[in-house]
Amino acid sequence: MNEIKSVAIIGAGALGLLFAEPIAQKLGEKCYFLADGSRYDRLKDGHFTINGKPEHFNVVSVDSLTDGRVEKPDFIIVAVKNYHLNDIIRLLDAAVSDGTIIISVLNGLDSETFLQDHCPRASVISSIAIGMDAVKEKRDLSFTGSGKLLIGSADNDKKNTALKRLSSFLDFCKIAYEVPDDIQRSLWWKLMINIGMNQVSAVTGSNYGIFHTDRNVQLLMESAMQETIDVAKAAGVDLRDDDIPNWYPTLNSLGADKKTSMLQDIESERKTEVQWFSGRLIEIADQYGIDVPVNRTLFQIIKTKELLYSQPGH
Ligand SMILES: NC(=O)C1=CN([C@@H]2O[C@H](COP(=O)(O)OP(=O)(O)OC[C@H]3O[C@@H](n4cnc5c(N)ncnc54)[C@H](OP(=O)(O)O)[C@@H]3O)[C@@H](O)[C@H]2O)C=CC1
Ligand SMILES: CC(C)(CO)C(=O)C(=O)O
């Protein structure tokens, strides 16, 4: 089985940095952030801090891959936001060769399909990132727990060659992961978490500490999650009512002062991923004639917040 010897990470944000640290410890310069244009110029010094400790990462320009100065990577981690995906096609075109393994740590149901459609030569392994509470401000990443990845092939074949190569690489880097029996359930389970946590934190401004203790915010989270379960059941996906109580131990392990990625986006007045959370749920719910009033309301509030801070002169 071919070992993974080089890794490109697209997106030097919270999750990109979280995974870069253990991989660069093993591969050194063969683990690099891939960027182009003014983003490459901004990042190329490679200096960041992780939990207060200075770290240096290799940053490679897409042109170095195109002209052969840097070999194409064996493995690509996509760690941008959903609304950035169209902008990274040029990077993927330059980086992908036959058999390149790609994972996306993006939340939402759709990034794997996007990547496989745009990179037919690659093996896209479905993945979700759970249990981390990464916060990035400027060049500084902080987190309490690094969480784990759930990975699987789209057809849940545990003997899939790319999945086996990826698993042994994650073992080598000591990155926690599991291969669930049903990756489709895992993707929907994560959607349920994002729908409950990210959206409710975004409209209420609650950090994880409030979610640990306040029953009102918990009830709002639970009602948004229950709608996700109802739609999943109609779509034939194995989400279960007890997925809600079973979420609390993980929720309680997240740092009380840390925040969801969507609340970080709202506070920094950035675009959010709401279109990929309640936006997507509403589309699927409509197909099955299911009403999701809590998610419609959350969607409308978050879109309004985005509109308000994108107004000229704000
Ligand atoms: N943060 C968390 O704890 C978790 C996040 N997720 C999911 O992971 C995904 C990433 O989230 P997160 O890491 O928080 O997001 P961040 O906003 O912290 O990072 C996204 C990064 O992508 C970079 N980027 C954007 N466009 C490009 C491009 N064309 N080329 C290269 N880099 C680009 C941005 O760079 P720049 O700043 O220069 O624009 C930014 O550094 C999201 O889907 C999120 O929902 C999943 C689990 C937990
Ligand atoms: C589950 C949660 C809330 C933290 O891991 C997340 O996925 C996010 O912040 O986007």
The CATH number that applies at residue 140 is: 3.40.50.720
Reported as a pLDDT band with limits 50, 70 and 90, residue 260 is: very high
Beta strands (DSSP E) in the chain are: 7-10, 31-35, 47-50, 53-56, 58-61, 75-78, 101-104, 123-132, 135-137, 140-142, 146-152, 177-178
Q: Which tens digit of pLDDT belongs to each residue from 100-119?
A: 999 999 999 999 999 999 99
If we measure between CA atoms, which residue out of 251, 263, 265, 254 comes closest to residue 81? 265
Query: What number of residues does the chain have?
Result: 314
State how far the Cα of 28 lies from the Cα of 7, in Å rounded to an integer: 10
State how far the Cα of 251 lies from the Cα of 170, in Å rounded to an integer: 24
* Arithmetic mean of pLDDT, 228-240: 97
* Whether pLDDT at 313 is above 90: no
If asked whether residues 49 and 80 sit together in one domain, one would say yes
If asked whether residues 64 and 160 sit together in one domain, one would say yes
If asked whether residues 143 and 86 sit together in one domain, one would say yes
* Whether pLDDT at 263 is above 70: yes
If asked whether residues 32 and 177 sit together in one domain, one would say yes
State how far the Cα of 77 lies from the Cα of 83, in Å rounded to an integer: 16
If asked whether residues 103 and 222 sit together in one domain, one would say no
* Whether pLDDT at 304 is above 80: yes
Ligand 2 pocket test: pick from 189, 197, 250 the residue with the most ligand atoms within 8 Å of its Cβ: 197
- Looking at ligand 2, which residue's alpha carbon is closest to its atom 3? 260
Residue 314 pLDDT:
80
> Which residues 6+ apart lie within 8 Å of 185 measured at CB?
237, 238, 239
Contact (CB, 8 A) for 211 and 197: yes
260 lines ligand 2 (CB under 6 A): yes
Contact (CB, 8 A) for 175 and 22: yes
If asked whether residues 244 and 189 sit together in one domain, one would say yes
- Looking at ligand 2, which residue's alpha carbon is closest to its atom 7? 194
State the first-to-last Cα distance of the chain, in angstroms, to the nearest integer: 55
If asked whether residues 19 and 142 sit together in one domain, one would say yes
Indicate if ipTM > 0.90. yes
Reported as a pLDDT band with limits 50, 70 and 90, residue 4 is: very high
CATH number at residue 201: 1.10.1040.10
If asked whether residues 150 and 204 sit together in one domain, one would say no
Ligand 2 geometric centre to CA of 261 (Å): 6
* Whether pLDDT at 294 is above 70: yes
Residue 257 resides in a domain? yes
Residue type, 103: I
Half-sphere exposure in the Cβ direction for 126 (13 Å, CA) = 22
Residue 1 pLDDT:
63
Which residue, 123, 152, 181, sits at the end of a domain?
181
Name the residue range of residue 261's domain.
184-310
Residue appearing with tokens 């409030």: 210
Which tokens hold the place of 221? 């989270």
Q: At what angle do helices 14-27 and 161-173 cross, to 10 degrees?
A: 80
Ligand 2 geometric centre to CA of 262 (Å): 8
Ligand 1 geometric centre to CA of 2 (Å): 29
Ligand 1 geometric centre to CA of 227 (Å): 27
Cβ atoms within 10 A of the Cβ of 182, count? 13
How many distinct structural domains can be found in the chain? 2
Ligand 1 geometric centre to CA of 84 (Å): 8
* Arithmetic mean of pLDDT, 165-179: 97
* Arithmetic mean of pLDDT, 84-93: 97
If asked whether residues 28 and 164 sit together in one domain, one would say yes
173 lines ligand 2 (CB under 6 A): no
If asked whether residues 177 and 222 sit together in one domain, one would say no
* 73 DSSP assignment: P
Which tokens hold the place of 5? 């010897």
